[in-house]
Structure 1
């Protein structure tokens, strides 16, 4: 078995291997003799045939056909087409991002007329890395440890593991990039040394902050305990390039009176030269940007050449807001652990973007220059840590008998002892990881349907020594519906959906019975959900797969089935939702009110971009806000029921609304719930009489569980 470490980066990737005799890892050169392989894939079409280009060859070809060149695909890994980050990527990347089929909600990319998942594109990069490593080592590479950003969601980690499998690699472990960097740093620690380390990881596409305890025991083994991590999945070197690209666009607009901002080829050339200028500005006081024939005017006008200069001072001012965002996240991470800069012993700078003077000077100013470790290559340290783990990770040691078992084993083959929480084998660094976001379900709490109820809190060490449980009660009908989310928002739909578990309550059990929901979380970050009714044999257990069907991707047609233009529909819903928020805000929970405000901003953005798919998605989001906001939604429906109702019916509904509002103002929660039920019945009857079927589903809980007071 030959194992390698892989830093699968947004911009570049690197491969390392561990030398047991030296006790150190080293970077392997690729087929072009370079230590870094560009994470770029292209298809070259010639004489009716196609050839796949990966790495440097793809970069060299890209200027000819930017639409058939995929880069920064890491930002799309494990994301649904409806994801707001994907909508942002569609406006910034040079290739086409498209929805999958009806059974696949994930974002896909279009490459030479064919569609691929981001995991498939990443597998092409991994195949080249594996092939080059096999050539370099002289024997077949079969296993790998692959790094991901600390703030990657479970779906993104699953997509990375899927990419490894498609490249015919056995993925021994998916490890966080900052943790891998700390493993590389651990080689420099003395025996019985104790450090509190902050890893500042600013790569090509993502930014992570991790805080760890690092200890070297008497035997010389390194132990790393992750305390916390935060991150931004859309902050990195690509964004630094972007501010220079904007500067180039402004120069062209000023000099040639044309706007090249919608030309994909121009944008690709501008980004390539912006990246070169960024590197120069890390060493020099200014950089010249010269792009011959950069833009061909659509009206047949003369070609536009770019000849401009960017100074270090200008560049620092452009990227200052981005750097300040990173430092704000640093302060957030410290604050959550009640730490100050003085409590950190070492700061590791990781990622190529930390070579930017403005970046490392800001970090040194905050922590003190003496704490910032710049002796490890920031472009290689993540891969080096992965290589160390790849060469030393040989399984987990049974706490009962000490036997080494396969990493995936649940119990010891020798004695049957549980391996939950067991340490890695003695040769490998021991890593204690924590959940970066809470894991829980959408449930009913009070009158609010869209409540996120955490079952595994944020910052919980895993694998879990035992499953974690919360109790609920069924609401309406025999259907039990458990949507599983990962995130930190109190509003469930604002978090990241991991899947939905559904179960029909057996006929012999009463409706409104107690239901326990139990989560388990293993070392590979796979969630097992168990639904049970205490005192009965009713149990449903399932392992969530993050690549299964969730919410269908929005279809890009311009007009819906009712003949209402998508823009007009969203304009109406935006105005109606804004009025709803202004009228009923006191009855909306603060977290839900904040979500609605953000949704209204997103709706305005969708209208300004004229993106049909995004406008249709936001229409659905605003409908959910209108009909899923607890008491406020009941009052909204009451308004609709009163409009056009007979005088006696209208008086009854208005009186019921007044009763609920009075009890709400008095703080009588139990009476509010009782009166709200009566109001709901009146409204449903009035709407049914008028055959308003469109709101039928909004009147029920659709199988969601209600949280029991514990």
Structure 2
């Protein structure tokens, strides 16, 4: 029988494993009998590792050895301002690697041990794998893992590498709000076309997505979010309030002591949770400040809401931006789905309801589990195990906008390699030829968009192939390939034909990070400018021909030792080529005149000396 595939919600605060089998979803309990596992790792002074609930408890005795919220560190540069802000509140030490990525430094008896976020991710995933296999009594090697919709390519790659090191083959990285929508649509039998908005506020990240279900197919219409906005930041706003009181009223600054920072964060997190059901609570601080053995800080829900108001409203602003960019009206949203533990906060629920003019919110019984449930459903869709057969839903992942590259280094025409609407995974290749003899580097600028003028599109990145063998004009071939995998990660590769010379780069692109409004605007812009683009591409053909013709003449004059004899002609072509490179669409008439002049002045020597490596004679056809 084929392997079972599990779903993993790899969260900032907690992680959860689920499995769809025999028509239902099961949340798999860990060794402690808990349905969720804290994303927490404790490294003892002896080097022993404790993960999850046990690690969280152990860290109370030595907070600087307890590591959490790795998700906020993965794939980020150490000097990232948002990362630096988070470091102020971590009790553990984070330093910069040589390549400027964060490393967690843990003090042990034998010295300091440095761990990368990826290594810590791997430890956590190994723990999840271990208890899953014990629960299911079989080996589990395949998984669908959820990530924030706004995770960039580096963050996704770190996740994939960590999973691989933990012994998993990841069949798909599933965006968290999409996972929540999958869980909702599985539980609710909805016919016809239906639109839902997912508001996902977890411990460390925020995502909002609009999805549309048409019969069995679910399509993501737009996403927005912030990978540095979540329950952690709400705790921090409360923590800063407690810090101010301790400094001003008790003359004590807890920020310098890792133990105190950790203790106070736990107190603030507990108070936040209490205020979701109570209107007032008290934070008790014992034995922290000399001369004050017991400190009481009263806190009302109203005061808490005032402190976190900017953060709450930031989520609504992101939600509003998502809908505006998508040209989707509030009233067209039929269901508002809440997931993520922070959506339990009453003020957040009220702000969302008010935004949608009093519309009732759909609250999952347990918002901590719905993303894992969606991951299990996606896993079942990818599974061939008959126990996981699922026919109710289909996820459609397509390329939202075309992706391509510049057709010629001196021109700005867009060559579309991967067309809009292509189903993932997908790839496409194009063969490019050298223009000049001394070309030893081929650079490919990659763009996303629908315009034929590449400058009207969005630049994604560049790949450069160096050490290319010199060859006469139009004789050297380089194959350029774009590939988007099932996780929406774009890879670009340039390969010199007939030589072992290849350059591959992962481009900082995430399929789905463009709102539906941006996509529609791009498509509409291309449609409205279709006639303009037609004229532009016709001009580019003239421009390319003129440049290639001039290069061909200069190359042949050099190769056939005719440069000194026809020095004026050589200089004329050199100046004309330089002029041609600066010509714009409004210069079409002038471009034609230059082509005519070049051909008139050069046709005798081209024929007499049998010039080769000249462009195909399509110039006259373009004048028709």
TM-score, length-scaled by structure 1: 0.62
The Cα of 1:110 is off from its aligned counterpart by 1.7
Secondary structure of the residue aligned to 1:122 is helix
The Cα of 1:188 is off from its aligned counterpart by 3.0
Secondary structure of the residue aligned to 1:147 is strand
> Hey, what does 1:107 align to over in structure 2?
102
> Hey, what does 1:29 align to over in structure 2?
29
Secondary structure of the residue aligned to 1:433 is coil
Secondary structure of the residue aligned to 2:220 is strand
Among 18, 21, 31, the alignment partner of 1:19 is 21
Secondary structure of the residue aligned to 2:209 is strand
Kept in 2: contact 1:530–1:540 (CA 8 A) = no
Provide, for residues 553-588 of structure 1, a one-character-per-residue CA deviation record: whole Å limited to 9, x for no partner: xxxxxxxxxxxxxxxxxxxxxxxxxxxxxxxxxxxx
> Hey, what does 2:483 align to over in structure 1?
520
> Hey, what does 1:276 align to over in structure 2?
270
The Cα of 1:462 is off from its aligned counterpart by 4.6
Kept in 2: contact 1:70–1:111 (CA 8 A) = no
> Hey, what does 2:176 align to over in structure 1?
177
Kept in 2: contact 1:530–1:539 (CA 8 A) = no
Provide, for residues 505-561 of structure 1, a one-character-per-residue CA deviation record: whole Å limited to 9, x for no partner: 4311459x998855221213343324479xx879966543589xxxxxxxxxxxxxx
> Hey, what does 1:248 align to over in structure 2?
242
Paired with 2:213 and 2:142, the residues of 1 have a C-alpha distance of 27
Instruction: Give the stretch that moved more between structures: 461-470 or 52-61.
Output: 461-470
Instruction: Give the stretch that moved more between structures: 80-89 or 332-341.
Output: 80-89
- Asked if 1:209 corresponds to 2:173, the answer is no
The Cα of 1:460 is off from its aligned counterpart by 6.3
Distance 1:538 1:44, change over 3 A: closer
The Cα of 1:264 is off from its aligned counterpart by 2.4
Paired with 1:82 and 1:179, the residues of 2 have a C-alpha distance of 31
> Hey, what does 1:38 align to over in structure 2?
38
The Cα of 1:466 is off from its aligned counterpart by 5.3
- Asked if 1:60 corresponds to 2:23, the answer is no
The Cα of 1:143 is off from its aligned counterpart by 2.0
Paired with 2:229 and 2:492, the residues of 1 have a C-alpha distance of 33
Q: Paired residues, what number?
A: 496
Provide, for residues 359-399 of structure 1, a one-character-per-residue CA deviation record: whole Å limited to 9, x for no partner: 11111111244452114421110011112222342269xxx
Provide, for residues 280-332 of structure 1, a one-character-per-residue CA deviation record: whole Å limited to 9, x for no partner: 0000001211121235xxxxx65675420110000111111111111111111
Distance 1:508 1:524, change over 3 A: same
Secondary structure of the residue aligned to 1:348 is strand
Q: Which runs of 5+ in 1 are unaligned?
A: 217-221, 296-300, 397-403, 405-423, 548-666, 671-710
Secondary structure of the residue aligned to 2:57 is helix
Kept in 1: contact 2:41–2:51 (CA 8 A) = yes
Kept in 2: contact 1:351–1:378 (CA 8 A) = yes
Secondary structure of the residue aligned to 1:161 is helix
Paired with 1:61 and 1:485, the residues of 2 have a C-alpha distance of 50
The Cα of 1:42 is off from its aligned counterpart by 0.8
Distance 1:509 1:81, change over 3 A: farther
Secondary structure of the residue aligned to 2:302 is helix
- Asked if 1:479 corresponds to 2:468, the answer is no
Kept in 1: contact 2:70–2:121 (CA 8 A) = yes
Kept in 1: contact 2:405–2:417 (CA 8 A) = no
- Structure (1 or 2) with the larger CA radius of gyration: 2
> CA RMSD, aligned part only?
4.0
Paired with 2:364 and 2:384, the residues of 1 have a C-alpha distance of 31
Among 349, 352, 358, the alignment partner of 2:341 is 352
Provide, for residues 251-276 of structure 1, a one-character-per-residue CA deviation record: whole Å limited to 9, x for no partner: 10121123323332222111111110
> Hey, what does 1:377 align to over in structure 2?
366
Secondary structure of the residue aligned to 1:235 is coil
